[in-house]
Amino acid sequence: MGRKRKWPVGITERTLTDGKKRFQLAFTFRGTPIRKLTELNVNAANAKYLSNLRAVILVEIADGTFQFGKYWPDSKEAQKYDRANSETKLISTLLTEQIAQFRKQKSIEPGTIDTYEINVNNQLIPAFGHLRLVDLTTRHIEEWVRHHSATVSSARTYLIPLKHVCRAAHRYGEIQKNPLADVDYKSLQPKDERIRDDSDSIDPFSMDEVVQIVNNAMPWSKNVIKANFFMGLRPSELICLKWTDIDFGAKTVTIQRAVDHRGVIKRTKTDSTRVIELIPPALSALLEQQKYNQGRSEFVLISRRGTPFPSYRNLHLHWGKVLANCKGIRYRSPYQMRHTFASQMLSNKEDIFWVAHMLGHKDIKTVQQHYYRWIPKPEGEFKTNTDWEKALNSAEKRTEFAHGKTTGIQVDEIITKIH
């Protein structure tokens, strides 16, 4: 008899009662040896496939993310270990693990994950963290949304990490039903909110509030804050705006960079460059900032020490201090500078195409969707200002001439008269 072929570690041959040979996959889970017979025939290609699969499983076991239900949903191990996992772990633990998983995936912007983590700690864990996942019901979630002070749209944003947890648990067989799947958000949403879409997060400052914010800002930031109320840049774009981006002669600014929450400079959100107009308030504020800067930094926005703001988080902290010095102004994020620009421009009847360009939108659809409350409606009766009958007659005359027809005169007669 020939020597038995040696297969990769954890891969062995098994002979069935009918004489057929199949591969068996072996690994250890929580100190217990696991042997799973496969349907794969014995050959080199299948051995390589199972070896790679085993390597993935070992990594998941080490990370604490392994689930039998993912590979063997109907197995006794899935019923034993996966069910025990969901029954013993609290939602607070699962949410924390989900945030860690987001960071490992690297497919989500770090700043977005930071926001998810804040929402987990401030919203979800206080509300649901004490529950086991198997005990969470649709009623729990709907009651929380119904009594939450935020809008339904904001509540849905807060629930994103929990949605990932529930979806994965349901897919792997840890829970029989996803409690988020049947949440009736529409019935929880007041009528005045239903027509607002996602514009509920838009909460611009009034012009009086703008003046107070600028007056209470620090010397090193007040000019830039004032300028941005009249430029509408995203905070991530404002942080890495350089003096070389500004053409004071042409009164324009080139927007081509943005900074993420880690302080890493990259392309803008839409991955495109735009050149915007400097209107007088923004122009004068940037000229004042240039005097204050005195060449200390290549960046327009600087800290008290004259150095660039290191990250988006630092801007948030500074902005919070500025608003704390203002009387009677509710806290809103620095992103509201951009919303304030858009709402002020539109309510003062600036051209919507110009506003869209200033904001970096490729068309006016986004502006209409987000800022429709500030787009002025025609006063009085809705009626046309154009004499469309006259316009149609003119078009008909141009068309007749172009096709060799005029009112009683042929084109060749006209040419003869010209000559």
Q: In the chain, where are the structural domains located?
A: 11-66, 88-200, 207-374, 388-418
pLDDT value, residue 308:
84
In terms of pTM, does the model score above 0.85?
A: no
Compute the distance between CA of residue 395 and CA of residue 201 in angstroms, rounded to an integer: 47
pLDDT value, residue 83:
57
**CATH superfamily membership of 207-374:** Intergrase catalytic core (1.10.443.10)
- The pLDDT of residue 87 is above 80: no
Residue 387 CA, distance from chain mean position = 46
Q: Which residue, 106, 74, 97, 83, is CA-closest to 164?
A: 97
pLDDT value, residue 186:
78
Q: Hey, which CATH number is domain 88-200, 3.30.572.10, 3.10.450.50, 1.10.150.130, 1.10.3720.10?
A: 1.10.150.130
The answer to whether 259 touches 265, Cβ cutoff 8 Å, is yes
Three-state secondary structure call for residue 13: strand
- Is the pLDDT higher at 226 or at 393? 226
Tens digit of pLDDT for each residue in 359-371?
Answer: 999 889 989 988 9
* Mean pLDDT, residues 230-255: 94
pLDDT value, residue 3:
62
pLDDT value, residue 204:
92
* Mean pLDDT, residues 347-355: 93
Q: Which helix (H) or strand (E) holds 11?
A: strand 11-15
- The pLDDT of residue 334 is above 50: yes
What rounded mean pLDDT belongs to the chain? 83
pLDDT value, residue 364:
93
pLDDT value, residue 200:
42
pLDDT value, residue 385:
63
Three-state secondary structure call for residue 231: coil
pLDDT value, residue 198:
37
Which amino acid belongs to residue 323?
L
Band (pLDDT 50/70/90 cuts) for residue 176 is confident
Distances (CA, A) of 103 to 158, 163, 170, 230: 18, 17, 22, 36
Tens digit of pLDDT for each residue in 400-412?
Answer: 766 655 444 454 5
pLDDT value, residue 195:
36
Compute the distance between CA of residue 103 and CA of residue 122 in angstroms, rounded to an integer: 19
DSSP-derived secondary structure for 278-308 = --HHHHHHHHHHHHHHTTS-SBSSB-TTSPB
Compute the distance between CA of residue 214 and CA of residue 224 in angstroms, rounded to an integer: 9
Q: Which residue, 86, 63, 55, 367, is CA-closest to 199?
A: 367
Three-state secondary structure call for residue 36: strand
pLDDT value, residue 305:
86
Residues 6+ apart with CB under 8 A from 331: 320, 323
* Mean pLDDT, residues 15-25: 91
Distances (CA, A) of 378 to 91, 356, 372, 383: 52, 20, 13, 9
Tens digit of pLDDT for each residue in 109-155?
Answer: 787 888 899 889 989 999 999 988 888 999 999 999 888 766 777 78
Report the chain's terminal Cα–Cα distance, integer Å.
110
